[in-house]
Amino acid sequence: MKRLECRFESEVFRAVFQGRWPGRADPDLAAHVAHCAICSDIVTVAGAIEESREETAAPPAIPNSGLVWWMAQRRARLEAAEIAARPIQAAQAIALVCAAILFCAYSGAVVSRFVAALARLSPDKGDLDIAARLSAAASLLAGHAGLALAAAAVLLLVPAAAYLAIGRD
Amino acid sequence: MDEDAFRAFYERTARGVWAYLARITSDRQLADDLLQEAFYRFLRANANYETEAHRRHSLYRIATNLALDARRRSIIRSASIYGGAEIETLPSGDQPGAADRRADLTRAMSRLKPKEQAMLWLAYGEGASHSEIAAVLGLSPTSLKNMLFRARRRLAALLRGGPDGSVR
């Protein structure tokens, strides 16, 4: 069975890691490494990596710890705000759709009555005098003021609601 | 973790994590980005760690996953941190300088799998124990021993100028 470990490998690695290899290493250990394939590999690999550490130990610019902390806190706040806003945005969108459906249903019912009332004021109805026409017009406006107000409100509020729901991103 | 504790932990670990990321991604720019991302995710996890060692393992595990994900997404530029591309064996009898030897290591490392690079760097760059490396890489200690043996054997062969780094 192939050997995967050597009992001296930790010692060999420490010697390399601490810069004692090969000059200040124990001669017995050096003699062992000369005959042990595992420890010889460790010396080769750990030595190369140790030398490489000098290069990578001096990165061009590690950000300041305070800056990293501040950026992390800021990002966490932004993410939290985004997550918190999701249900509100969803509720706003649902409310908008509900309002549009209600408006369509209401206006559909009212407009048909409005059109019928308007037909009664048409000039071909020769049997009505001016006073009766004005009276009919006034009652028509009074009877459908809700529709007019609702139409005006929707025209003003829908763009504002749409902006609040989706425009701020 | 409060700000003071984080800053102290960052000062102790950032350079090592950056070196680890630079080594396993072979990309300094990417290492810069991943370093900040790793610390951000570490903070966001907001876990309680029993010891400093556990805290370090968690940070290295996050860094490892980020680096491996980045490799999988193939966003790593092909150029290495030393600009090396292909493995070349140094001419025999040459006395390479330190920069050449580092370039040799980079080229040899690039022939290994990302996990092999990570385990070798953790073992011989960071001095992590087998159980620590297994925890960071999500491997069983038994598998790790075997994989580390093979990776080390292959890297040593490549560094000695073997043709393909195959285990002999």
Question: How many whole angstroms from its chain centre is CA A59?
Answer: 32
- Residue B88 above 90 pLDDT? no
Query: What averages of pLDDT result for each successive group of 10 residues across chain A (169 residues)?
Result: 79 85 82 89 88 66 85 89 86 84 77 71 63 74 71 75 65
Question: Exposed, middle or buried, A109 (CB in 10 Å: 0-12/13-18/19+)?
Answer: exposed
Q: What percent of chain B has pLDDT over 70?
A: 79
**How far apart are the C-alpha atoms of B25 and B21, rounded to whole Å?**
6
Q: Which two tokens stand for residue B67?
A: 């680096």
- What one-character DSSP code corresponds to residue B85? -
Residues A2, B168 contacting (CB under 8 angstroms): no
Q: What is the CATH number of domain B3-81+97-159?
A: 1.20.140.160
- Rounded-to-integer distance, Cα A30 and Cα A42, Å: 12
Would you state the pLDDT for residue A56? 61
Which of B30, B87, B102, B166 is the best substitution to test chain A (most A C-beta atoms within 10 A)? Answer: B102
* Single pTM value for the model: 0.63
Quick one: pLDDT at residue B83?
44
The model's confidence at residue B95, banded by pLDDT at 50, 70 and 90, is very low
Please give the pLDDT value at position B66.
92
pLDDT of residue B86: 38
In DSSP notation, A136-154 reads: HHHHHHHHTHHHHHHHHHH
Mapped onto helix, strand or coil, the DSSP state of residue A133 is helix
Min distance A168 CA to chain B CA atoms (Å): 26
B81 confidence band (pLDDT: 50, 70, 90): very low
Which residues in chain A are closer than 8 Å to B24, comparing Cβ atoms?
none
- Residue A131 sits at the chain B interface (C-beta within 8 Å): no
Contact residues on chain B for A66, CB-CB shorter than 8 A: 3, 7
Residues counted in chain B: 168
Mutual orientation of helices A65-120 and A130-143 as an angle, nearest 10°? 150
Q: Which residues of B touch A52 (CB under 8 A)?
A: 23, 102, 105-106, 125
pLDDT tens per residue, range B122-166: 888 888 888 889 988 888 888 888 899 999 999 999 988 865 555
With contact defined as beta carbons under 8 Å apart, do A43 and A12 qualify? yes
